[in-house]
Structure 1
Amino acid sequence: MKEKSLRRKDQIIPPKGKLGVLIPGVGGAVSTTFIAGVELVRRGLAEPIGSLTQLGTIRLGKRFEHRAPKIKEFVPLTDPGQLVFGGWDLYEANGFEAAMYARVLSRDHLESIKDYLTGIVPMKAVFDRRFVRNLDGTHIKKGNSLRKHVEALKEDIGQFKAANGLERCIMIWCGSTEIHLKQEAIHQSIDALQRAIDANDSRIPPSMLYAVAALECGVPFINGAPNLTLDIPAMLELAEQANVPIAGKDFKTGQTLMKTILAPGLKSRMLGLEGWYSTNILGNRDGLVLDDKDSFKTKEESKLSVLEYILQPHLYPTLYKNYYHKVTINYYPPRGDNKEGWDCIDIFGWLGYPMQIKVDFLCRDSILAAPLILDLVLLTDLAQRVGMNGIQEWLSFYFKSPMHKESLYPEHDIFIQSMKLKNTLRYLMGEEQITHFGLDYYLNGEER
């Protein structure tokens, strides 16, 4: 991505026409909550609570100027009314049936848009049970040829665009967490990855096939799970070659959201950490998938990395060198999507005296994830129209395990992430970066 090739201010291509949103896992709790929520908002039956693009403002210029427009009025974002939804799922239930099964939204909400949701019919998914062992899909593409699966997905994308009169699409992975994978030789270049696909290599998971299909069709890909999918040189190369943005990974919703809020506060006050014990009980399909130890390993890595990067124990050994960090997830069907996250945090302060913080977050996973998906779709579409290809680190705000350039460390502090996101928007629109310096208001006898 070269700065001179970026479109800024009036050069940004306007969001003309409809924007397609293609979702692997379109029948899951997160996806149906997102789609139903957007339709309820479009009909004036609900508010888009939690969406920065819809409700957030952005400060511009000096404080005494009092300029703080809504983000959606400041940058040329696609209106949610222009979104068209489609996708793939392991089960053939339509949007209404899937949303009723998920039991996230009320029957009253779903009945009011039943006509719309019934029309969301999933395409057959690419599925390999070796990578998600606790699910057994019935609505899947036949055969074992990985190349034919990629081509079938590309055909699905083309047909979806043609059927809905679309020029632009975004693909966002809302499917399950796959088993833990590590980078290997087959991931190091486009050629190596393509050869592996042609050879039906058993180390290529379905999520990578979706990503390859999207990027080869010029469709940006967002990874909402902790899967390896995009975190390989071949995908970075493919995204740059196709001149499309990629973003990920793993939506930052419940317990990790709390960590990225609390840990920066502890560090800013130079309070020490003895240990942080986190446990979750969750009963939806995500909980079932994570009941497999190898899928949990993928999620665990995503969750554990947060504190290490925020607290920087190598810089503050007295405070953080030997803290103990434990994360567990327990599948408990009665809770459904209503996850409970317990955090027991042992800290110490002045002279080393101990203190405790206990958090019991009775959250709703899909309710927290849905507005993130809306923002990510709209902001990634903006990035595409601006000409920002490859990793979109400025969208780290939305992810547990943000993608980043290899030579950099990831930024997990949610407050720094928020500043990066808004400063990127200011940059694109030709506005001054906000540093919160503040001393300039008091120097040289300035009156304001």
Structure 2
Amino acid sequence: MKERPEIRSSEGKLGVLLPGFGAVATTLVAGVEAVRRGLAAPVGSLTQMQTIRLGKRTDARTPLIKDFVDLASLDQLVFGAWDPIPDDGYASAVNAGVLDRHEHLEPIRDFLESIVPMPAAFDPEYVKKLQGSNVKSGPNKRDLAEQIRADIRTFKEEQGCERCVMVWCGSTEIFLRPGAQHETLEAFEKAMEENDPGIAPSMLYAYAAIMEGVPYANGAPNLSADFPALEKAAVERGVPIGGKDFKTGQTLMKTILAPGFKARMIGLRGWFSTNILGNRDGEVLDDPASFKTKEESKLGVLEHILQPKMYPELYEDLYHKVRINYYPPRGDNKEGWDNIDIFGWLGYPMQIKVDFLCRDSILAAPIVLDLALFLDLASRAGMGGIQEWLSFYFKSPQTTPGLYPEHDIFIQHWKLKNTLRWMMGEDQITHLGQDYE
């Protein structure tokens, strides 16, 4: 374990920059303001509601995480966003239909209307089901990235922010694989100047954030900051990065259930998953190229948790299928249905059915809040590069090249808390069970 870092003070305003100002981002922003005004509780947020056991201390205190670690408070947060649709925060939240208009939006309408998205670096070639007029223009992608950098500096100055973080809340882009243009920063910058099709808009935001010293997390499954050029740049500049794809509905359930099956040595023959979703994300994923990106993210979870090569008689023949269907009447209220074919003693078959009727953005919003606060903490601690300890929040955790990601949510949770203990000079918990006493 490395030597405990010196952590700079959290004082001053923290700018939370959100590429994509749709359902997830407006639910986050409205929720934070509702909590600040005492209108609601921050349910789902570890930073605001969870306790942490303190190592081997005899007093066995279990303070809230926000009291244990020097995190920025909710009162310090100011929000900025980019979106191709010019709607302010109130109009966008009403359109998203996640939060009750009268109970949660009208009381904070003045605040939401004050947040107007900046023109986005957007290209419909990468998100084919979305159109908008609030879009940047420039001779090439490098110029667009420089415009985003200028936006960051302007926002920081106008809002009086000490620091900023950026969390991608935009739609899922088409599936791309890293290539030669992603290997070095020089190659990446040259590719931007040449309008290389392998450079997607989210990469421009990631590049701009890293070059401006702003921590960056990717909440979607598309290639964004998870390639050598930007990973190395983040290390060299001491900028924390993480991703990818917020772990919300169906995959959240898989990372809870699969470790239980493995712990009991229960076999799996098949796991069929289907989703219906009607918000903007669902419409975007109706495009096969964007669905391919999401599919790659969702399919890798079970293999990493179950380790079929280690337990071939239990998991090697597992058939895993994922489907996502756009169904407008459902709106943001996603339904994830799973049929799980298991087998037990002497190979006798059994089945489990899971029907998770969840609210996608309600589950995602506290993730964005926690990531913003933890990334800021990592930045103040000088922890540049990939933040593997934040894998808890992602479907496809970004890891150091050459290492496999951890998907077991309980191990992820343990690692997250142990990292916080280490940062604060406390003894780490070496037995998983102790953290849940």
TM interval, shorter chain, is over 0.9
Give the match for residue 120 of structure 2.
125
Give distance in 2, aligned partners of 1:89 and 1:223: 16
**Native 8 Å contact 2:414 2:432 kept in 1:** no
Letter in 2 for 1:189: T
**Native 8 Å contact 2:56 2:427 kept in 1:** no
Does residue 46 of structure 2 align to residue 73 of structure 1?
no
Give distance in 2, aligned partners of 1:229 and 1:436: 35
**Native 8 Å contact 1:22 1:87 kept in 2:** yes
Give the match for residue 304 of structure 1.
299
Which one of 52, 58, 61 corresponds to residue 58 of structure 1? 52
**Native 8 Å contact 1:61 1:67 kept in 2:** no
Give the match for residue 265 of structure 1.
260
Deviations 1:339-375 (A, max 9, x none): 0000000000011011111000000000000000110
Which one of 359, 368, 374 corresponds to residue 373 of structure 1? 368
Give distance in 2, aligned partners of 1:43 and 1:157: 27
Give the match for residue 79 of structure 2.
85
Give distance in 2, aligned partners of 1:271 and 1:22: 44
How far does residue 190 in structure 1 lie from its aligned partner after superposition?
0.7
Give the match for residue 289 of structure 2.
294
Give distance in 2, aligned partners of 1:263 and 1:195: 44
Q: For 1:401-416, list aligned pairs within 5 A.
A: 401-416=396-411
Does residue 277 of structure 2 align to residue 282 of structure 1?
yes
Give distance in 1, aligned partners of 2:151 and 2:171: 20
SS at match of 2:317: coil
Letter in 1 for 2:173: E
Give distance in 1, aligned partners of 2:271 and 2:36: 41
How far does residue 166 in structure 1 lie from its aligned partner after superposition?
1.1
Letter in 2 for 1:313: P
Give the match for residue 32 of structure 1.
26
**TM-score after normalising by structure 1:** 0.95
Q: For 1:246-257, list aligned pairs within 5 A.
A: 246-257=241-252
Give distance in 1, aligned partners of 2:203 and 2:237: 16
Does residue 188 of structure 2 align to residue 193 of structure 1?
yes
Give the match for residue 228 of structure 2.
233
Q: For 1:129-148, list aligned pairs within 5 A.
A: 129-148=124-143
Give distance in 2, aligned partners of 1:438 and 1:157: 43
Deviations 1:122-159 (A, max 9, x none): 00001111111111121101234112101111111111
How far does residue 61 in structure 1 lie from its aligned partner after superposition?
2.6
Give the match for residue 99 of structure 1.
93
Deviations 1:250-304 (A, max 9, x none): 0000000000000000000000001000000000000000000010000000000
Give distance in 2, aligned partners of 1:33 and 1:231: 26
Give distance in 2, aligned partners of 1:154 and 1:63: 46
**Native 8 Å contact 2:304 2:407 kept in 1:** yes
Give the match for residue 443 of structure 1.
none
How far does residue 14 in structure 1 lie from its aligned partner after superposition?
1.1
Give the match for residue 43 of structure 2.
49
The number of residue pairs the alignment matches comes to 433
Structure 2 unaligned segments of length 5 or more: list them: none
Letter in 2 for 1:399: F
How far does residue 3 in structure 1 lie from its aligned partner after superposition?
3.3
Give distance in 2, aligned partners of 1:64 and 1:429: 17
Give distance in 2, aligned partners of 1:217 and 1:76: 23
SS at match of 2:161: coil
Q: For 1:140-219, list aligned pairs within 5 A.
A: 140-219=135-214
Deviations 1:216-241 (A, max 9, x none): 11111110000111111001111112
Q: For 1:8-27, list aligned pairs within 5 A.
A: 11-26=6-21
Give distance in 2, aligned partners of 1:152 and 1:403: 27
Letter in 2 for 1:3: K
Give distance in 2, aligned partners of 1:303 and 1:64: 42
Identity %: 64
Bigger Cα displacement from structure 2, 428-437 vs 393-402: 428-437
Give distance in 2, aligned partners of 1:428 and 1:164: 29
Say what the alpha-carbon RMSD is for the aligned residues: 1.3
Deviations 1:288-328 (A, max 9, x none): 00000010000000000000000000000000000100000
Does residue 329 of structure 2 align to residue 330 of structure 1?
no
SS at match of 1:277: strand
**Native 8 Å contact 2:86 2:134 kept in 1:** yes
Structure 1 unaligned segments of length 5 or more: list them: 440-448
SS at match of 2:67: helix
Give distance in 1, aligned partners of 2:155 and 2:254: 39
Give the match for residue 442 of structure 1.
none
Does residue 420 of structure 2 align to residue 397 of structure 1?
no
Give distance in 1, aligned partners of 2:352 and 2:229: 43
